[in-house]
């Protein structure tokens, strides 16, 4: 698998470090957080408690679902 270097702030790196499980690499933390297959974390676990209306939440959730579907199609096309 090809490797890429990304630049993140010290603050973000410290946050990722705080999320690491024992013997887990930062890359594994990112995969765990960003994987659409990971159902162990809810949106509240990652982003906090939603304070908007149910209608706003449903609208945003549709956009998120659509984006994940497009992302998965892109990944499948690149394989």
DSSP labels, the chain = ---------HHHHHHHHHHPPTT--HHHHHHHHH-TT--SS-HHHHH----S-HHHHHHHHHHHHHHHHHHHHHHHHH-
Predicted confidence band at 67 (pLDDT cuts at 50, 70, 90)? very high
Q: How confident is the model at residue 24 (pLDDT cuts 50, 70, 90)?
A: very high
Please give the Cα distance from 27 to 1 (Å, whole number).
Answer: 13
Identify the pLDDT of residue 17.
Answer: 93
Per-residue pLDDT at 34 = 85
On the question of pLDDT at 44 being above 70, the answer is no
Alpha-carbon gap, residue 61 to 66, rounded angstroms:
8
């Amino acid at each position: 698998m090809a490797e890429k270097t990304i630049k993140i702030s010290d603050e973000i790196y410290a946050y990722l470090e705080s999320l690491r499980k024992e013997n887990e690499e930062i890359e594994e933390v990112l995969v765990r957080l960003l994987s659409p297959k990971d159902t162990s974390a809810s949106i509240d676990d990652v982003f906090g408690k939603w304070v908007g209306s149910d209608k706003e939440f449903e609208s945003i959730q549709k956009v998120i679902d659509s984006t994940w579907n497009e992302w998965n199609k892109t990944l499948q096309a690149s394989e």
